[in-house]
Structure 1
């Protein structure tokens, strides 16, 4: 899918604050560590719905190789977005800002105040999510995927075959 078409699809999928189904929520609770579940609960309803879908696709693709850390990676890869406290409109502005000014501005923006800070934090969600998961005692693979899910495959430290399935399952 083209970049613009993907962003339009993502926007319309994020308008309604609908979380995962009750069945998916119960499955998530059984898969995550209690400390990870606390992080999950801080994610927006839309992010939890998206992540549950990613994890279900990973589970189908990997079968028995979908270990608990891999499922947790799928469920929590975007958990750092919760730090920014941005709604749909703010996220659109952050995404467009990164396209115009470049993602390299994220660190500088995150050191400012107000909305600009929140935009910077949103753009730094991979690093922030990895920090949250590391503090929560998540498995190294789970932490690594949160940090690496927007990097090119040659920069991944997770096993390439697992990373490919995680990336393909995430329509991000």
Structure 2
């Protein structure tokens, strides 16, 4: 099939547009409310590392010309390839694993905690920062409702073995 034919270009254009729109929908609706538990985060990083190691070995074994050239360029390729593949694997596994947490059933719970205002920036939203006892770290919640000067917020969450989903936050 020719690369400039309509039979090739139309599905490629629509597929690219669909992929980009799904990535934007995931980033705006799912990514900001999903938090990995520490043990699942270790599994995520370890599986990305193993996948990157296997992929880089496959590149080195099956693409003989990747190691051609002088010694310095070969060393650069040997060190840069696994690092680049590790970053790509981290980014690629983030989406299905966060969808796994988002779509899994879990126990719903609520609790009240203190919060601090968190400023927004170019790449993040304005919201509140709370300490999540299940994750044992501070997390940022972008969308909260209500208005209060008490400094307390009620958190609605769904937690399972892989992570938590913040379903809502209301000022108390």
TM-score normalised by structure 2 residue count: 0.21
Structure ranking higher in strand proportion:
2
Question: Of the two, which has the highest radius of gyration?
Answer: 2
TM-score normalised by structure 1 residue count: 0.21
Structure ranking higher in helix proportion:
1
